[in-house]
Chain A
Amino acid sequence: MATETTSEAAGDDVPADVSEHLAREDRIGLLRAMLMMRGIEERAMTLYRQGKVPGSFYDGYGQEAVSAGPAWAMAAEDRLCILHRDLAAHVVRGVPAARIFGQYMGREGGVTGGRDGNVHFGDRTLGCVGMVSMLPDMMLVATGMAMAFKMRGERRCAITWFGDGSTSRGDFHEAMNWAGVQRLPVIFVLENNQYAYSTPLDKQFAVDPVHRAAAYGFEGVSVDGNDVEAMFEATREARERALDGGGPTLIEAVTMRMHGHAAHDDMKYVPKEQIEQWRRKDPIDRQVRRLEALGVDVEAVRAEVKQTIDAGVEEALNYPMPDPATATDRVFAEQPALLEDGEAPWSGFCDGGSA
């Protein structure tokens, strides 16, 4: 059965070092990405309550490490299929805050220009593909990217995120099997956040899906999903394995969805003790303790993030709404428009290679 165990770095302890591959600036960068995610989402929730964000609003409060860590391990030429509670991955790849707020508000300057809402976006110019609501469809898309990399003999990898509920659908099986059969350079990150909407794990599967990886012929690892450095390290290892021809890896990030499925969901179905237990494992608090022990001025990081977010909101509020006359435009492409490289801030890439 899936667990709620973490490395138990709760309370005031400084979490253990789990990666030898993170420089001081990386560890700050990981915190910054998580702070950006939390700050953007908190501000977007305010905008939602003010009626400036149409539809509903989905966030990843408490799960920031699940996207920040793996995205940090990805090279510019790698490709990402990002899920709805993974905003930090977009931040790491270089999507500016204003374009994210514009996205939430359905503005012209949002990543999809108002064509799709909330977290359904991916900036193709940064190597990212936006999700669809049918989960986990993007597992197959990531598998196909990896298939192309292998066919062309390229040292690149694809990564995708999906939730515990997704493991019940057929596309999970088709992607896991396909990637296993062809030994493809793809990383599957399973965000086990304990609930699929209101459905708990014991109604979702009889066996923790991390164990299924073995049945498909590749490795499955269970990782403390609230430890951003542990998530980075597991992904770095998976990527190395993928580039060396070792095939896919399933990384189960054990975490907790601390808010409702979306803004309307009061999550009455979640026991209060469960929330309290996980609150003590907050991924941002834990990274802050790490950095404070290193003597980093965390308040300065927070101040810079707040300033960036403030400026982003202001810019986005000035974006016009899309022109209704364009609603039927651009159904078909006239010219190819493919994925391009994104930002890859990990210091391990400084030599320009796939570190």
Chain B
Amino acid sequence: MATMTYLQAISDAMRQEMREDERVFVMGEDIGVFGGAFKVTDGFVEEFGEERVMDTPLAESGIIGTAVGASVVGMRPICEMQFADFISCGFDQLVNVAGKMYYRQGLSVNITVRCPSGGGFSGGPFHSQNPEAWFMHSPGLKVVAPSTPEDAKGLLIAAVRDPNPVVYMEHKHLYRRVKADVPEGTYETPFSARLAREGSEMTIVTYGAMVHTALEATEDLDVEILDLRSLVPLDEEAILASVAKTSKVLILDEANETCAAGAQVAALIAERGWEDLDGPVVRLSTPDVPIPFSPPLEQAVLPQVDDVREACRELIAY
């Protein structure tokens, strides 16, 4: 075990995979000599050279499209979107080319697209988004979102080895804020949920940075917290099992409310967990607005610790 930040764990996953597998390389804007906007690939170019740590033109469609091309001839590219928000410029290549390739013609697309996502630090409308639901709605893409350093490493290694396009949502706010023990060497974290904390009075279903918000908000409460880790595939059995156990559920998203990952979870519970419920399915998420820049405005829209605590108290009392 080594103690690592979430960011270091992501770097470690890529470094280990690149050392073990010649097919793995990283590509993105400013990731080479500069080491990336968040320094995730700091030192990589020195170890692996400029071809495997590729500074690309400023072209997100180009990054994803060429990664698809490299993958179908046997490579395993890891693409970095400088910010998750910029993936909108590569949407077509991801959704129409990568996502549908295997279904249409039996040709597997082994690419990983790393997306530094999320808000909480005045990034404003173009550097704070959580666009995971766009890709949940697009057949053929897997979507994962780790909350801990251990899972950040294991999910990324699993993504790189997966013969499908995987959208890897890494929350920027966790990069240096979260630090924990991480196993050495390589290991794969399964694309399934984990219990972040056991509890009995109610369940919070969440993922990414909101796992930490949920933990902090319920320190003195008997609340079970289910960290989804993977949104596609969605661990339906783990969700239903926890709801069956506690009978009450709060679904917490940092993403905009409409059709967010949590909406799918709510639909699942309504459809298959109805008999187990002892209270309304409660959702807490960001309203359908662009993420504002100024701190009081941003805090007003992103779910805060106090919001979660209040919602839990109400639901437990129901």
Contacts and interface: CB of A to CB of B under 8 A. Distances in A.
A130 interface: yes
B133 interface: no
B185 to A, nearest CB: 23
B104 A141 contact: no
Contacts of B107: 122, 124, 129, 337-339
A341 to B, nearest CB: 11
A332 B139 CA distance: 9
A338 B52 CA distance: 21
A354 interface: no
B105 A121 contact: yes
A206 interface: no
B62 A132 contact: no
Nearest to B25: A151
A144 B97 contact: no
A75 interface: no
A170 interface: yes
Nearest to A329: B103
Nearest to A115: B104
Interface stretch (B35-43, B63-71, B176-184, B275-283): B63-71
Given A333-B163, A334-B163, A335-B163, A140 B69 contact: yes
B140 interface: yes
A143 B103 CA distance: 22
A99 to B, nearest CB: 12
B65 A148 contact: no
Interface stretch (B12-20, B53-61, B211-219): B53-61
A144 B65 contact: yes
A132 to B, nearest CB: 5
B310 interface: no
B69 A330 contact: no
Interface string A331-355: 1111111110000000000000000
B65 A175 contact: yes
A133 B96 CA distance: 9
Contacts of B52: 151
A147 interface: yes
A139 B93 CA distance: 11
B163 A132 contact: no
Interface residues of A, number: 47
B73 A171 contact: no
B105 A144 contact: no
B290 interface: no
A138 to B, nearest CB: 8
B112 interface: no
B74 A129 contact: no
B61 A170 contact: yes
B268 interface: no
Interface in A134-157: 134, 137-149, 151
A141 B283 CA distance: 41
Nearest to B56: A178
A130 B104 contact: yes
Interface of B: 25, 51-52, 56-57, 59, 61-62, 64-75, 92-93, 96-97, 100-108, 110, 139-140, 142, 163-164
Top 10 nearest A-B pairs (CB, nearest first) are A144-B69, A140-B65, A144-B66, A333-B108, A174-B62, A141-B69, A148-B70, A145-B69, A174-B59, A333-B163
Interface of A: 79, 111-112, 115-116, 120-124, 129-130, 132-134, 137-149, 151, 158, 170-171, 174-175, 177-178, 181, 330-339
Given A130-B104, A140-B64, 11 more contacts: A112-B105, A121-B104, A124-B72, A140-B61, A143-B65, A144-B70, A148-B74, A158-B69, A174-B61, A175-B62, A337-B108
